[in-house]
Amino acid sequence: MDAVFRALDDSSRRLLLDSLFDEDGQTLAQLTTQLPTMTRFGVMNHLRVLEDAGVVVTRKVGRNKHHYLNPVPIREVHDRWISRYTEPLAGGLSRLKQQLEGETMTAPSHVYQTYIRCTPEAAWDAIVNGDQTVQYYYGTRVESDFTEAAPVRYLSPDGSVVADGVIIAVEKPHRLELMFHARWDQELSDEGPVRMVWIIDEADGLTSVTVESHLDPESKTYGEFSGGIPYIVAGMKTLLETGKPLA
């Protein structure tokens, strides 16, 4: 958390984060225009501090490096220091940019990432085990055999389908791709499914969990996912590290 506070303790870095909030996935050239009096090298240094703190995550697509606002560490600060006294916060970002197969790879519309003190196998189990998702995934229980082309459903406590979809690819315990179709709201359902990718890696004795989403920034789903996914990822981290769900 110290790195997060240091990263936010600079007006230029906060401006870069604001810019990514407004338009996620920008390249260095685009972000440089937000600080016209600063050199390209200076902007790169600020971005490096934000990356080191985990509040910015990058993905290289072709020759371009795209930068994404990662609200999860900020959400974790919120949950530790603020949500004890106020109701939980929700944000705004993500929708489908890429079809199932056969298209040129495009950058995700947003990337969320956190680091958890657990094994990759434990993180994988938290994603695919209904007894665990019910504790952090808004009370829903996942059902699937998690093989390619298998159906997947998220069920509410009363058994109704909150979301469904299909598994695209499985690389246990490191990668899970699926199409996720929200059913809790008719407008979201009408917008169609969202492509989501869960990526699990080992990093310096920790396990990194990244969620990539491909969405239309103009969609209602984009707004719903922006607040929902950081809460889910933060809840997963809390569950795995403490054995208890977020309060």
Q: What is the pLDDT of residues 108-161, one digit of tens each?
A: 667 888 999 999 999 999 999 999 999 999 999 999 999 988 999 999 999 999
- pLDDT at residue number 79: 66
- What domains lie within the chain, and their CATH numbers? 1-69 (1.10.10.10), 90-242 (3.30.530.20)
- pLDDT at residue number 164: 94
Give the pair of three-digit tokens for residue 46.
């600020």
Q: List the one residue out of 108, 116, 10 whose CA is nearest residue 68.
A: 108
Q: Give the amino acid at 182.
A: A
Phi-psi region of 35 (alpha: psi -120 to 50; beta: other; left: phi over 0): beta
Cα separation, 15 vs 38, whole angstroms: 13
Q: List the one residue out of 98, 105, 113, 101 whose CA is nearest residue 216.
A: 98
- pLDDT at residue number 140: 97
Residue with the larger pLDDT of the pair 68 and 2: 68
Give the pair of three-digit tokens for residue 171.
């690389």
Q: In angstroms, how far is CA 242 from the centroid of its own chain? A: 21
Mind giving me the DSSP string for 39-100? -HHHHHHHHHHHHHTTSEEEEEETTEEEEEE--HHHHHHHHHHTTTTSPPP--------S-S
**23-27, 86-90, 214-218, 238-242: least confident range:** 86-90
* Residue found under tokens 């969202």: 194
Cα separation, 106 vs 140, whole angstroms: 30
Q: What is the pLDDT of residues 181-210, one digit of tens each?
A: 999 999 999 898 888 999 999 988 899 999
Q: What confidence tier does 84 reach under pLDDT thresholds 50, 70, 90? A: very low
